Amino acid sequence: MVLSMAVIGIGAWGLYLFIPDGDSGDERPREISYQAELVTAERAAPYALMAPRGLDDAWRATSVYYRGQSDHGAVWHLGFVDPEVEYAAVEQGDGDPGKFVAKVTHQAADTGETVTVDGEEWARYEGQKYDALVLTAPDVTTVVTGTAPFARLTELADALEPQRSDAPQPSSGGDG
């Protein structure tokens, strides 16, 4: 009986080693399209939602949601992996800025340094889990956060554009 159990155990171990586990070796999470959620959320949001335009194709959207009511007010989340498969996200909320930033950055701390992105001063935060760039406006706090290096977070912040149809749009340069 012991011998038959040993044979079965060796056979099971061999199957375990040689049957593929479904891991294709691709570390990238599944890519999603966020356009439908963006269009729906922008109708309900009390502020202009930010989403990137012109990012390199190597950036992949992986998560999206809008919540009209939460502990942090109306919140918008758009998550990505960068070309090096590091996480970066756009987070917006119109609740208490301090609590919101602490939540989405996993308690990252303000370094006192700023980064100028598209003419605006973003506060630089560093943390054990995530780093972040934070832009606080009277009606909304925008955070670009994640495990991606600051150069990638800055790249994402620089690509952000307001998506609300009634938000100010860049001038076309014509007389109109």
Residue 31 has a pLDDT of: 86
What residues of the chain score a pLDDT lower than 50?
A: 15, 21-24, 166-176
DSSP 70: S
Residue 175 has a pLDDT of: 42
**Which DSSP string do the residues of 1-68 spell out, in sequence order?**
-HHHHHHHHHHHHHHHHHS--S--S--PPPP---HHHHHHHHHH-SS--EEE-S--TT-EEEEEEEES
Residue 171 has a pLDDT of: 36
Residue 30 has a pLDDT of: 84
Q: What is the pTM of this model?
A: 0.78
Residues 6+ apart with CB under 8 A from 29: 60, 62, 81
Residue 21 has a pLDDT of: 47
Domain boundary assignment for the chain: 35-162
CA distance 172 to 94: 30
Three-state SS sequence of 79-98 = EEECCCCCEEEEEEECCCHH
Reply yes or no on domain 35-162 having CATH 3.30.200.100. Answer: yes
Q: Is the dihedral angle over the CA atoms 161, 53, 94, 131 positive or is it negative?
A: negative
**Mean pLDDT estimate for the chain:** 86
